[in-house]
Amino acid sequence: MSQLANQIAVVTGAGRGIGRAIALKFAAEGADVVCVSRTQENSEKAANEIGALGRKAWAFAVDVADSAAVNAAAEKILADCGKVDILVNNAGVTRDGLLMRMSDADWDTVLNTNLKGAFFFTKAFSRAMIKARTGRIINVSSVIGLIGNAGQSNYAASKAGLIGFTQSVARELAGRGITANAIAPGFIETDMTSELKPEMRDAILKQIPLGSFGSAEDIAAAALYLAGASGRYVTGQVLTVDGGMVM
138 vs 90: CA distance, rounded Å: 8
pLDDT of residue 195: 76
Residue 190: pLDDT band (50, 70, 90) is confident
Q: Residue 9's beta-bridge partner residues?
A: 33, 86
Burial 112-140, CB ≥16 within 10 A → b, else e: bbbbbbbbbbbebbbebbbeeeebbbbbb
| Average pLDDT over every residue of 195-215 | 91
Q: Residue 188's beta-bridge partner residues?
A: 214
Global pTM exceeds 0.85: yes
Say which residues have a Cβ less than 8 Å from residue 52's Cβ, sequence separation at least 6: none
Question: What DSSP designation does 184 have?
Answer: E
Indicate if the pLDDT at residue 194 is higher than 80: no
Q: Using DSSP bridges, classify how beta strands 32-37 and 57-61 pair: parallel, antiparallel or unpaired.
A: parallel
Of the CA atoms within 13 Å of residue 88, those in its CB half-sphere come to 35
Q: Residue 89's beta-bridge partner residues?
A: 139
| Average pLDDT over every residue of 223-238 | 98
pLDDT of residue 153: 98
Give yes or no for a contact between 2 and 30, defined as CB atoms under 8 angstroms apart. yes
Q: Residue 241's beta-bridge partner residues?
A: 185
Distances (CA, A) of 49 to 14, 98, 151, 218: 11, 39, 36, 19
Give yes or no for a contact between 98 and 151, defined as CB atoms under 8 angstroms apart. yes
221 vs 56: CA distance, rounded Å: 21
Of the CA atoms within 13 Å of residue 110, those in its CB half-sphere come to 21
Give yes or no for a contact between 182 and 141, defined as CB atoms under 8 angstroms apart. yes
**Which overall architecture, per CATH, does domain 8-238 show?**
3-Layer(aba) Sandwich (3.40)
| Average pLDDT over every residue of 39-52 | 97
Q: Which residues belong to the active site?
A: 155
Domain boundaries of the chain, sorted by first residue: 8-238
Residue 1: pLDDT band (50, 70, 90) is low
Indicate if the pLDDT at residue 139 is higher than 70: yes
119 vs 29: CA distance, rounded Å: 27
6 vs 20: CA distance, rounded Å: 20
For residue 58, give the nearest of 117, 121, 101, 14 by alpha carbon.
14
| Average pLDDT over every residue of 217-244 | 98
Give yes or no for a contact between 19 and 88, defined as CB atoms under 8 angstroms apart. yes
